[in-house]
């Protein structure tokens, strides 16, 4: 038996995943971010929430926004739940489980981030899910993996950042370790999870069968160790926090100006030559002729660059760096980022109509799509994160059509 995907959407559909149905049981950030990524691309995402309060992040704040009707909305929840529908089901009850089972018979994807074993105890083991819908792709996100000696640990972003080594290489120095300023372990797990789901859906086109995709906060952070990982596994060196300067490229980092700060990235010997020529420096000075020399003598290089940059105001320096072709940039506040015309030109700010807040602006999806002729086909119409149970009125209709597996 072959389980087909939905019929191909018409050319004017809203996104490349239009017609795909995702049942989202996740809460907090990793799972909701993964589901939102698919929703941004046009999938129908049905967010199933507990009727008693819904997703935990609905209560995370301040900040909250409180419209005149007495309700309040968490800006945290708003960050990860655009382009979704919200229905409420109590999965501890027989009725709730029956309703979920019927939804899954018509779904393409199920997403969950319960602790390992919880979904099984609710009656939805992998074998049960296969019985309901052999073509179902399930994304399961955990904190530290679904097996192994610490599989049962709860997954929280900052704990994972520490346990997975990210904090040890982040901060001003080895004695000032810092977390990343956003829940990066959650976000990466969601991104890897969405990537895995799309791979499994692609394989389903060939096999007709679904499968379980597993991601974790631990795996996601280890997956982006990049050169810090091979620095240990190959060279046997343990990376440490080095503040705002790159540990393997010099000069590459943050420097003060006469009235602010700039960042530069001198990522090649050609750029180093250009940088020195532009500022009247000797590119072949002892300890500075090659990048390995400059990394070994980081303090000497930084002091030299700093002595030059303090002679310039920020705007003048950025203009000079641009003139000589050295990559550079300022440090923007988030307010400045969202007011920046370049940000807006990339579709990174969208306006939606929220049920209680009215028109609001949200950070937008990061992907854009174009045809071979250069015409943009990026989805432009988006829906606001739903209030709890906003689409319960659609549930009866969906359940009525969900009696059999699609063939």
**pLDDT tens for the 407 residues of the chain, in order:** 333 344 444 444 589 999 999 999 999 999 999 999 999 999 999 999 999 999 999 999 999 998 877 789 999 999 999 999 999 999 999 999 999 999 999 999 999 999 999 999 999 999 999 999 999 999 999 999 999 999 989 999 999 999 999 999 999 999 999 999 999 999 999 999 999 999 999 999 999 999 999 999 999 999 999 999 999 999 999 999 999 999 999 999 999 999 999 999 999 999 999 999 999 999 999 999 999 999 999 999 999 999 999 999 999 999 999 999 999 999 999 999 999 999 999 999 999 999 999 999 999 999 999 999 999 999 889 999 999 999 999 888 777 776 544 43
Burial class, 62, CB count within 10 angstroms (exposed 0-12 / middle 13-18 / buried 19+): exposed
Dmax (CA) for the chain in angstroms is 78
Structure-block tokens of residue 244: 């705002």
pLDDT the model gives residue 277: 96
Which residues have C-beta within 8 Å of that of residue 292, sequence separation ≥ 6? Answer: none
Cα–Cα distance for residue pair 208/271, rounded to 1 Å: 52
Q: Which residues are catalytic?
A: 186
Cα–Cα distance for residue pair 23/112, rounded to 1 Å: 9
Cα–Cα distance for residue pair 341/347, rounded to 1 Å: 10
The CA angle 337-342-84, to the nearest 5 degrees, is 70
If you count them, how many residues does the chain have?
A: 407
Nearest to 191 by CA among 154, 141, 143, 123: 141
Q: Where are the alpha helices (DSSP H) in 142-236?
A: 157-163, 184-207, 217-222, 227-233
pLDDT the model gives residue 380: 87
The whole model's pTM is what?
0.91
Burial class, 9, CB count within 10 angstroms (exposed 0-12 / middle 13-18 / buried 19+): middle
Q: Tokens 């105001």 belong to which residue? A: 313
Cβ neighbour number for residue 33 with a 10 Å cutoff: 23
| Cβ proximity of 265 and 255 under 8 Å | no
* H or E, element range at 21: strand 21-24
Cα–Cα distance for residue pair 15/380, rounded to 1 Å: 9
Angle of the 184-207 helix axis to the 30-40 helix axis, nearest 10: 50
Backbone angles phi, psi at 361, to 5 degrees: -105, 140
What CA–CA distances, in Å, run from 379 to 64, 305, 310, 350? Answer: 28, 45, 45, 11
Show the domains of the chain with their CATH numbers. Answer: 21-224+347-400 (3.40.50.10540), 252-333 (3.30.1540.10)
Nearest to 138 by CA among 88, 209, 189: 209
Cβ neighbour number for residue 275 with a 10 Å cutoff: 21
């Amino acid at each position: 038996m072959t389980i087909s995907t939905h019929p191909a959407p018409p050319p004017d559909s809203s996104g490349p995943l239009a017609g795909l149905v995702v049942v989202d049981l996740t809460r907090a950030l990793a799972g909701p971010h993964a589901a939102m990524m698919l929703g941004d691309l046009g999938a129908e995402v049905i967010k199933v929430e507990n009727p008693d309060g819904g997703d935990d992040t609905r209560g995370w704040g301040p900040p909250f926004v409180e419209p005149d009707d007495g309700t309040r909305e968490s800006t945290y929840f708003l960050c990860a739940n655009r382009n979704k529908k919200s229905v409420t089901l109590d999965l501890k009850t027989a009725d709730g489980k029956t309703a979920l089972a019927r939804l899954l018979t018509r779904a393409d994807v199920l997403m969950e981030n319960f602790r390992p074993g919880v979904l099984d105890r609710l009656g939805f083991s992998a074998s049960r899910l296969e019985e309901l819908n052999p073509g179902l792709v399930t994304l399961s996100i955990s904190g530290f993996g679904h097996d192994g000696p610490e599989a049962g640990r709860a997954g929280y972003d900052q704990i994972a950042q520490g346990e997975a080594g990210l904090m040890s290489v982040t901060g001003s120095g080895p004695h000032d370790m810092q977390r990343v300023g956003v829940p990066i372990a959650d976000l990466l797990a969601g991104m890897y999870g969405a990537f895995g789901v799309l791979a499994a859906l692609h394989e389903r086109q060939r096999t007709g069968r679904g499968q379980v995709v597993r991601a974790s906060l631990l795996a996601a952070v280890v997956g982006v160790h990049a050169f810090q990982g091979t620095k240990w596994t190959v060279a046997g060196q343990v990376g440490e926090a080095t503040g705002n300067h790159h540990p393997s490229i010099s000069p590459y980092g943050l420097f003060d100006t006469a009235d602010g700060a700039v960042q530069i990235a001198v990522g090649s010997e050609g750029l180093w030559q250009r940088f020195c020529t532009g500022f009247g420096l000797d590119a072949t000075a002892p300890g500075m002729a090659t990048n390995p020399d400059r990394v070994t003598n980081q303090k000497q290089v930084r002091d030299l660059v700093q002595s030059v940059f303090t002679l310039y105001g920020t705007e003048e320096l950025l203009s000079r760096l641009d003139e000589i072709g050295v990559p550079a940039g300022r440090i923007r506040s988030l307010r400045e980022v969202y007011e920046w015309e370049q940000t807006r030109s990339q579709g990174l700010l969208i306006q939606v109509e929220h049920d209680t807040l009215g028109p609001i602006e949200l950070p937008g999806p990061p992907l854009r799509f174009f045809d071979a002729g250069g015409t943009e086909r990026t989805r432009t119409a988006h829906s606001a994160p739903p209030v709890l149970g906003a689409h319960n009125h659609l549930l009866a209709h969906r359940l009525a059509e969900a009696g059999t597996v699609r063939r």
